[in-house]
Amino acid sequence: MGAVCHVDLLSILRRIPNHKLCMTAISASAPGKIILFGEHAVVYGRPAIAVPIHQVKAKAIIFPAPRMSPGSIFIQAPDIGMEANLIELPQDNPLAASIQVVLKELNISHPPAFKLRITSTIPLAAGMGSGAAVSAAIIRVLSNFLGQPLPDHRVSDLVFEIEKIHHGTPSGIDNTVITHGMPTFFIRDRMGHNTIATFRVAQPFTIVIADTGISSPTSITVGDVREGWRQNPDYYETLFDEVGKVVLSAREAIENGQIEDLGRLMDENHSLLGDMGVSSQELDRLVKIAKNEGALGAKLSGGGRGGNIIVLVYNTSADQIAECLRLAGAVRTLTAVIR
Ligand code: PMV
């Protein structure tokens, strides 16, 4: 049996010349993210600001499986109750697609057999980038396993390809902030060119992220905004321009440590998202409660209609405001200091 494995491995190594295969279990991870300003308008070429949330993450582990037949890939994702061989999955399955893009990128048609285990603490469909983080973790771990680690910008590009399968027209902000793991100012212009800048956080600030528990696929709200924009382009373009101004002012406020201004800008951004039709009664209710409890500002974050609100707070009132939001129905809160 051992000899058979040895022969298989040698034949695989011959098919992947010059690659250093990893024969022990290896892992890679990627953080969650939150969009602070500019969601939706960013799909139309306006700037947005997003930050990684390192308290939650997706993790992918590869166990080499020389006893499985060469080329077989077994995937376990216990969080979603999935156990399957790669070949059983449809091509547009995001886990399968994340593996395939790496094999294609590295030009490998017969990878050595392995088991891939994926776990994530990032809430699903809640605007925290769970899909992009899972893809980033898989792409990283697999390229490492195959002996050709990909640089961050390539990982980001490949995650973007996967995001397109499910989101249709993603802006690229999720894959960018999740892959680079730093506060990011992002613009994707109409030609598809990205401007990505990191920026200085002059004074760390605290946000409470509160989950409505309402699952709301981003593809639906992005599609609805597109439909609204098609029917009423002037109205939507004006809203996007307003959001763009808010984002530029927010960057300035962050770089100058003007936290009160940042709160006011969050309120403005929330109101503009409401005008785009992506807020909801529940999001508005939680935003109002947070404000009544003394928050400096609050807004929905991500695709909208469900998912999270983010609340800018003084550090000293974070626990009390988070508790109020949970009592009011938020299923989960998370406090993050942005620095
Ligand atoms: O729901 P999320 O966190 O994946 O964010 C979506 C952000 C949008 O601007 C609505 C879409 C995009 O691709 O940027």
- What whole-number distance in Å separates Cα of residue 143 and Cα of residue 85? 19
- Answer whether residue 7 shows pLDDT above 90: no
The protein residue with its alpha carbon nearest to ligand 1, atom 3, reads: 127
| Ligand 1 neighbour 304 (Cβ under 6 A) | no
- Quote the domain boundaries for residue 89: 2-198
- Answer whether residue 16 shows pLDDT above 90: no
Q: Do 108 and 179 have their domain in common?
A: yes
* Helix (H) or strand (E) run with residue 137 in it: helix 130-145
| Ligand 1 neighbour 306 (Cβ under 6 A) | no
For 239-256, how does the pLDDT look when each residue is reduced to its tens digit (9 = 90+)? Answer: 999 999 999 999 999 999
The share of the chain scoring above pLDDT 70, in percent, equals 94
Of the candidates 153, 177, 198, which is a domain's last residue?
198
| Ligand 1 neighbour 188 (Cβ under 6 A) | no
Task: Give the burial string for 213-236 (b: 16+ CB within 10 Å, else e).
Answer: eeebbbeebbebbbebbeeeeeeb
- Answer whether residue 18 shows pLDDT above 90: no
Q: Do 152 and 275 have their domain in common?
A: no
| Ligand 1 neighbour 222 (Cβ under 6 A) | yes
For 97-138, how does the pLDDT look when each residue is reduced to its tens digit (9 = 90+)? Answer: 999 999 999 999 989 999 999 999 998 877 898 999 999 999
Report which DSSP code applies to 129.
-
Q: Do 44 and 150 have their domain in common?
A: yes
| Ligand 1 neighbour 86 (Cβ under 6 A) | no
Of the candidates 142, 175, 198, which is a domain's last residue?
198
CATH of the domain at 145: 3.30.230.10
Q: Do 268 and 180 have their domain in common?
A: no
What are the DSSP calls for 57-85, one per residue?
A: EEEEEEEE-TTSPTT-EEEEEGGGTEEEE
Q: Do 153 and 226 have their domain in common?
A: no
- What whole-number distance in Å separates Cα of residue 166 and Cα of residue 222? 11
| Ligand 1 neighbour 291 (Cβ under 6 A) | no
**Rounded distance from Cα 132 to ligand 1 centre (Å):** 11
| Ligand 1 neighbour 163 (Cβ under 6 A) | no
Q: Do 171 and 229 have their domain in common?
A: no
Of the candidates 198, 228, 254, which is a domain's last residue?
198
Give the model's confidence band at 289: pLDDT under 50 very low, under 70 low, under 90 confident, else very high: very high
| Ligand 1 neighbour 171 (Cβ under 6 A) | yes
For 187-227, how does the pLDDT look when each residue is reduced to its tens digit (9 = 90+)? Answer: 998 888 989 998 899 999 999 999 999 988 888 999 999 99
Q: Do 24 and 169 have their domain in common?
A: yes
Mean pLDDT within 268-282: 98
- Distance between first and last Cα of the chain: 54
Q: Do 156 and 251 have their domain in common?
A: no
Q: Do 34 and 158 have their domain in common?
A: yes
- What whole-number distance in Å separates Cα of residue 43 and Cα of residue 222? 9
Q: Do 214 and 277 have their domain in common?
A: yes
CATH of the domain at 322: 3.30.70.890
Q: Are strands 205-211 and 114-120 parallel, antiparallel or unpaired?
A: unpaired
Atom of ligand 1 nearest to the CA of 173: 14
**Rounded distance from Cα 48 to ligand 1 centre (Å):** 10
Q: Do 287 and 242 have their domain in common?
A: yes
Query: Which of the listed residues 34, 36, 37, 39 should we mutate to test ligand 1's pocket, taking the one with most ligand atoms within 8 A of CB?
Result: 39
| Ligand 1 neighbour 216 (Cβ under 6 A) | no
- Tell me, letter by letter, the H, E, C secondary structure of 230-296: HHCHHHHHHHHHHHHHHHHHHHHHHHHCCHHHHHHHHHHHHHHHHHHCCCCHHHHHHHHHHHHCCCC
pLDDT for position 258: 97
pLDDT for position 166: 76
Smallest CA-to-CA distance from 212 within 132, 325, 136 is with 325
Number of domains in the chain: 2
Smallest CA-to-CA distance from 50 within 158, 197, 193 is with 197
The whole model's pTM is what? 0.87
Query: Which of the listed residues 34, 169, 171 should we mutate to test ligand 1's pocket, taking the one with most ligand atoms within 8 A of CB?
Result: 171
* Least confident interval from 13-22, 171-180, 291-300: 13-22
Q: Do 219 and 188 have their domain in common?
A: no
